[in-house]
Amino acid sequence: MKTFATALFGRRARRRWIHLILGGALAMPYVFVGSVIVGPLLGEDAVFGSLTAQLAAFAVGLPLAAITALFPLTRPMSVAAVRALCDVPGESLADGPARSRTARGRTVAWFTLHLGFGGIISGMSLALPPFAGVLIALPFAAALRGSRVGMPEVFGEGWLLALSPVIGCASLVALAGCAAGAGALLARWAPELLGPTPADRLAAAEQRAADLAVRNRLARELHDSVGHALSAVTLQASAARRVLDKDPEFVREALTAIEETTRRTVGELDAVLGVLRDGDQTAPTAPAPTLAADLDGLLKRTRAGGLRVRSAVDLGPQGPDALPPMVSREAYRIVQESLSNALRHAGPDAAVTLRIALEGADLEILAQNPLPAAGATSRPGGGHGLRGITDRARLLGGTAEAGPLDGTWRLRVRLPLKGPHAPDPKKPMKPQKSQKPKQQEPQKPKESA
């Protein structure tokens, strides 16, 4: 008995009843338009004084409601009402306007059902409670008997008069049962009619992939810029401390390099974090460093930490300025990360051979440094640098190979200079199988002054 009462009058049933009343309220404008059409056809001056005319106006109004359900805002409004009142899991409903013909058709079906059921239940909710109240009070109030209150005379005498309270209560229970049943049906159909279509699921998956791509790109930028800066600053400070009393000039250069590194990195960090601030129109927009703008500065700051860098740059008469901006930017980050890895793992006294040259239609970056001695402990941190280099190369349609070779660690990256260079960073990249390092003989770098 308690379960039955909860099903008819519980919180969920009451909320769904309100949802149906909302549908009836939305149906009223269409019923009014329908009454204007039906009245002259039926010859009724007062449409709402005739039950037949009311039903005809309701039947004419529902197709009009179906037409207006094609407006884009219909589905978001319907979904919001269902989530708030029908106790339907939110993840089973679609967000945003209908994007496909199928979704629009389902929205039309839902809106028509909602207004149809809502109009019927609303009419019953307006008519039955006063009727049931009169029936319940009829045996105890003689003034209510007769036709003065619109009550059939048959209820004013005999056994029907004694049973009228029971009939009145049964009418209220029947009303609650109809409302609960209609609300349950709508709640059951809501995921099917307002749920995501395959097109909605595909759009949601693409949005998640785009968000993930942006997050991964920001993570790479932070790892390469901040990680390299911290490694360089740590080694520069350590080298300066060791020769503080012996070589003041070296200490002065190291401190200058630390100042330049930290100032540049703070600007890059502000630019990256500005992307994460939603709606921040005043976020810094410092340009990302490129080979053309800062290759010499990067090598100078790295050498200030004690790392010996033997560089060979062969980029033609125009040098790095001739590189496409995207290639120059990504190549800078790749060179930066390769030097950072050497600082972390090979140690500050290691020698790094760096070669940046044009090879046909590609830009080739080759970096080699000695492997750590047996038993040596590499600096903590890292683990994502090589994956970031691979992602950057793949983003431009290039390749990256890394691995040990003849007692050294070699990184070889080729970036095409022509072709679509990462047209949209928000578009997800297709996963590719990682390439194993190829055991090739390193090319002898061309010496530069």
In a domain, 169, yes or no: yes
pLDDT digits 0-9 by tens, 329-380: 889 889 988 888 887 777 666 788 999 999 888 999 999 988 876 544 444 4
Answer whether residue 155 shows pLDDT above 70: no
pLDDT digits 0-9 by tens, 394-408: 888 899 998 888 888
pLDDT digits 0-9 by tens, 38-49: 777 776 666 666
285: which 2 tokens? 């927009």
Of 196, 220, 235, the residue that ends a domain is 196
pLDDT digits 0-9 by tens, 45-61: 666 667 778 888 889 99
Rounded Cα distance between 26 and 18, Å, is 12
Indicate whether 146 and 255 sit together in one domain: no
Indicate whether 356 and 233 sit together in one domain: yes
417: which 2 tokens? 């200079």
The domain tally of the chain equals 2
388: which 2 tokens? 């970031």
Of 196, 214, 234, the residue that ends a domain is 196
| Other Cβ atoms closer than 10 A to 296 | 12
Determine phi and psi for 442, rounding to 5 degrees.
Answer: -65, 140
Q: Could you give the 3-state DSSP secondary structure of residue 414? A: strand
Which residues partner with 368 through β-bridges?
Answer: 353, 410
Answer whether residue 444 shows pLDDT above 50: no
In a domain, 128, yes or no: yes
Indicate whether 219 and 188 sit together in one domain: no
Q: Which domain holds residue 406?
A: 204-416
Of 162, 180, 196, the residue that ends a domain is 196
Indicate whether 233 and 301 sit together in one domain: yes
Indicate whether 113 and 152 sit together in one domain: yes
Vertex 261 angle, CA 346 and 299, to 5°: 55
Cβ proximity of 357 and 313 under 8 Å: yes
